[in-house]
Amino acid sequence: MLAVALLRSPEYWFHAKVNFQTARTRAQASQVFEQVSITEHSK
């Protein structure tokens, strides 16, 4: 799902990191995404 979002808006990204993690629910996946996003933005 995230890959599709990136492909639809290439003007908003300049690099990507691939990490695989299984989530049981959409809410859990969203939470993991937010955590990773905050960590990467703080670098």
**Residue 33 within any structural domain of the chain:** yes
Phi-psi sector, 33: left (phi>0), alpha (psi -120 to 50), beta:
alpha
- Domain ranges, residue 28: 19-43
**pTM of the full structure:** 0.52
Measure the CA angle with vertex 14, ends 23 and 18; round to 5°.
30
Number of domains the chain is built from: 1
**Residue 3 within any structural domain of the chain:** no
Q: Please give the pLDDT value at position 41.
A: 84
Q: Note the pLDDT tens digit of each residue in 16-28.
A: 777 788 889 999 9
Q: Please give the pLDDT value at position 27.
A: 93
**Residue 39 within any structural domain of the chain:** yes
